[in-house]
Chains A and B, each alone.
Chain A
């Protein structure tokens, strides 16, 4: 569904794709500005905004105090009055600190005010374990925000999706949470170079076609599932669907895939109970129950926090092997 007319691509990293989207949107619209802890000269804790302060100046790439409630709130106030702030919350684990402004202001203002307030804010944040950052810097919280009415939530897995979705998020008059899996910043892929390229929020992508089982995977697990599918080639034919947007969720694309394969595995790094997995399964059950040939399977974190020590962390983080086990259970 890429809207670009220029079909050229470049091989780039996930990180560079995000930076490209930020740069292009700041060039396109003076109302776009970045704000967050260390996003300026420092370039962001994961170097995503590196160089942007030099290009656009410190007013448009604005370092903030360590004050999530304050600067997220300021982003909401700026958006309500016509700006397009892109606010970085360094780790999603810190979202709780600013939750009030997101949940009661950002998400509700348009509705409470009878539809009159645009809320063109994008909140970028990082998720995911795998680097020994322990429980307060490794969480995957996107379910909270996908669940909460009035917020759109996207979680790209590829450079193409990162660029296309971030540009759409920034241009959107709705609040969009943009979840970046910190383990895939170095992931490379083809990214359309056209500055007009965007991807619509709410559309899934069939990353690999297959016949036997549908793996609905997000973020890091998209890449791992694709590698797994290559490994299983000839043995099991795996279709990999990346929803890309968690809310709205592209039910049709997922159900269509399950109608073809009859089997469903959902792989997402959030905790298993009451989660993203459950939502995908529920929609398939509601809309495609009679296509199912086997019980749907969930792959995620078994309701623990993310521990520090590598053997412990490796134990709870979902990986390709877990997806394979799940596939084996149903195929």
Chain B
């Protein structure tokens, strides 16, 4: 819960700010990608902010999460620093992963963030393992796995659910049903309509909540966390949400109907939450504008930080393979660099 207890007015504003930060961060990432400043693949979380923030606002700071290829929102919701995130997106030495991971692999294990993940469905087994460790050590924490609707078709997700259920582990599984698995609509990938019904096979509760409402996700995950901490085992929460952007930046999106985007935008998680807070007198239009411009500044500063950060040294590529390095790597590298003179491509 930390600073984001949405039972309090202060916490609600923080949740709103966190959602705005995700939106601004990813809008900016989109621009930087289009300008060629970010290499590789970028998967944006825009539209789904209520899920990450709703879930993380129901967690304690030392709880673990596993993330997905669409992980920026989870990172920010878990409290990671936008500067080091942006530096990672730009492949800089001061990024969370020293530039070795990029957008798809941002991690901060010390902060409980066990990594964005480029493999669909790989997170739930990791969360099950983290929950197993919590259980073995007798700690008062939980592990939560975010995964998409697409991952529900992956075998290892079901294995993770079965293990966590069988062992009654303190785990929470959150399906982010954003209506598309890569470039194919969800209904073409699953016979199930309510993906939370998957839970029935494992004799655990499965519930479906409005993933565009941060309060709904928060409440569901809070109950799931309580259940996990009471020793009652895992819960499967399906948050029904919508991905505004393509699967990846540059996706031509032949599978999408523009009308649908407009329909979902009417329920925008940030706009609707702001309106609710405004209606209860907790924030004014002016204050919201001010919040947005602060968030803009935060993200601008993150971009500046990232741009100013040093590039990694090319030979850093040979570091971090092992805790106890294999001599082969240094030997091969030495031979490569001795023979090759100036290395590096012509990008």
A–B direct touch in complex (beta carbons closer than 8 A): yes
Interface set of B (CB-CB < 8 Å, partner A) = 64, 66, 95-101, 105, 107-110, 114-115, 117-119, 122, 124-137, 143, 155-156, 159-160, 162-163, 166-167, 319-324, 326-328
Chain B contacts for A74, CB-based, 8 A: 125-126, 128-129, 132, 160, 163
Establish whether residues B324 and A83, one from each chain, have CB atoms under 8 Å apart when the complex forms: no
* Nearest CB of chain A from residue B115's CB, rounded to whole Å: 6
Given contacts A65-B162, A74-B160, A114 and B136 within 8 Å (CB-CB): no
A78–B133 touching, CB < 8 Å: yes
User: Could you say which residues of chain B place their CB within 8 Å of the CB of A152?
Assistant: 322, 326
- Asked if A111 and B326 make an inter-chain contact with CB atoms under 8 angstroms apart, the answer reads no
Please report which residues of chain A, range 270-290, place their CB below 8 angstroms from some CB of chain B when the two chains form the complex.
none
| Chain B residues near A71 (CB-CB < 8 A) | 159, 163
B321 contacts A110, C-beta separation under 8 Å: yes
- Check if A247 sits within 8 Å of B122, measured CB to CB: no
* Distance in Å: Cβ of A8 to nearest Cβ of chain B: 28
Smallest beta-carbon distance B171→chain A, Å: 10
9-residue interface stretch from A36-44, A101-109, A210-218, A225-233: A101-109
Within the assembled complex, what's the spacing in Å between the Cα atoms of A97 and B275?
49
The answer to whether A150 and B321 have CB atoms under 8 Å apart is yes
Q: Which of A115-123, A125-133, A135-143 touches B?
A: A115-123
Partner of A65, one of B155, B163, B319: B163
16 contacts between A and B (CB under 8 A): A31-B136, A70-B160, A73-B124, A77-B133, A78-B132, A79-B129, A81-B129, A81-B143, A83-B129, A101-B125, A112-B105, A114-B97, A117-B115, A174-B324, A201-B324, A248-B327
Contact, CB under 8 Å: B323 / A114: no
Contact of A80 among B105, B114, B320 (CB under 8 A): B114
Q: Is the CB of A77 within 8 A of B323?
A: no
Given contacts A77-B114, A81-B130, whether A114 and B327 have CB atoms under 8 Å apart is no
**A residues engaging B (CB < 8 A)?**
31, 33, 59-60, 62, 64-65, 67, 69-83, 85, 100-101, 104-105, 109-119, 149-150, 152, 172-174, 201-202, 247-249
Q: Is the pair B130, A77 in contact by a Cβ cutoff of 8 Å?
A: yes
B97 to chain A, nearest CB (A): 4
Please determine whether A111 and B163 come into contact, CB atoms closer than 8 angstroms.
Answer: no
B97 touches A112 (CB 8 A): yes
Partner of A69, one of B95, B108, B125: B125
Find the residue from A74, A104, A112, A117 having the highest chain B CB count within 10 A. A74
| Contact in complex: A115, B98 (CB < 8 Å) | yes
Q: How far is the CA of A112 from the CA of B131 in the complex (A)?
A: 22
Inter-subunit contact B100/A112 (CB<8 Å): yes
Return the chain B residue nearest A80 by Cβ. B114
Q: Which chain A positions have C-beta within 8 A of B96?
A: 113-114
Q: Is the CB of B324 within 8 A of A113?
A: no
Instruction: Tell me if A113 and B101 are in contact (CB < 8 A).
Output: yes
> Apart from A83-B136, A118-B323, what are 12 other A-B pairs with CB-CB below 8 Å?
A31-B136, A69-B159, A74-B128, A77-B128, A78-B132, A85-B129, A105-B122, A109-B107, A111-B320, A111-B321, A116-B97, A174-B322
The answer to whether A202 touches B327 (Cβ under 8 A) is yes
User: In the assembly, what is the distance between CA of A109 and CA of B110, in Å?
Assistant: 14
Question: Once the chains bind, are B107 and A116 in contact (CB under 8 Å)?
Answer: yes
Contact A110 B323 (CB under 8 A): yes
For the complex, give the distance between the alpha carbons of A303 and B210 in Å: 55
Number of CB contacts from chain A to chain B under 8 A: 165
Chain A proximity of B333: nearest CB distance (Å): 13
* CB-defined contacts of A117 to chain B, threshold 8 Å: 107, 109, 115
A67-B159, A111-B100, A112-B97 known; A77 vs B327 contact (CB < 8 Å): no
B115, B122, B326: the one contacting A73 at CB < 8 Å is B122
Q: Are B101 and A173 in contact (CB under 8 A)?
A: no
Residues of chain A lying within 8 A (CB to CB) of residue B64: 81
With A70-B125, A76-B126, A105-B119 given, is the CB distance from A112 to B107 under 8 Å?
yes
Contact status of A59 and B136, CB under 8 A, knowing A76-B129, A109-B115, A152-B326: yes
What's the nearest-Cβ distance from chain B to residue A269, in Å?
23
Most buried by B among A67, A70, A110: A70
Q: With a CB–CB cut-off of 8 A, which chain A residues contact B130?
A: 77-78, 80-81
Q: B54 to nearest A CB, angstroms?
A: 23
Q: How far is the CA of A90 from the CA of B85 in the complex (A)?
A: 41
> Are A78 and B129 in contact (CB-based, < 8 A)?
yes
Given A76-B126, A116-B107, answer yes or no on A83-B133 (Cβ-Cβ < 8 Å). yes
How many Å lie between the Cα of A26 and that of B50 in the bound state?
43
- Pair A73/B101 contact, Cβ less than 8 Å: no
Please give me the residue from chain B that is nearest to A70 by CB atom: B159
In Å, the complex CA distance between A278 and B137 comes to 44
B321, A100: Cβ atoms closer than 8 Å:
no
Verify A105–B323 contact, CB threshold 8 A: no
Closest to A250 in B: B327
Q: Are A69 and B155 in contact (CB under 8 A)?
A: yes
Contact A100 B122 (CB under 8 A): yes
In the bound complex, residues from chain A placing their C-beta under 8 Å from that of B328 are 247-249
- Given the known A-B contacts A110-B320, A113-B109, A114-B95, are A70 and B162 also in contact in the complex, defined by CB atoms under 8 Å? yes
**Shortest CB distance A284–B (Å):** 14
Within 8 Å CB of B127, what residues of A? 77
Q: List A contacts of B128 (CB < 8 A).
A: 70, 73-74, 77
Indicate which residue in A77, A119, A150, A201 contacts B132 across the interface (CB closer than 8 Å): A77
> Closest CB-CB distance, A102 to chain B, in whole Å?
11
Shortest distance from the beta carbon of A244 to any chain B beta carbon, whole Å: 15
Q: Which residue of A lies closest to B106 (CB)?
A: A113
Q: How far is the CA of A203 from the CA of B319 in the complex (A)?
A: 21
B119 x A100 contact (CB < 8 A): yes
B156 touches A70 (CB 8 A): yes
Contact, CB under 8 Å: A101 / B122? yes
Q: In the complex the two chains form, what is the Cα distance from A255 to B311 in whole Å? A: 39
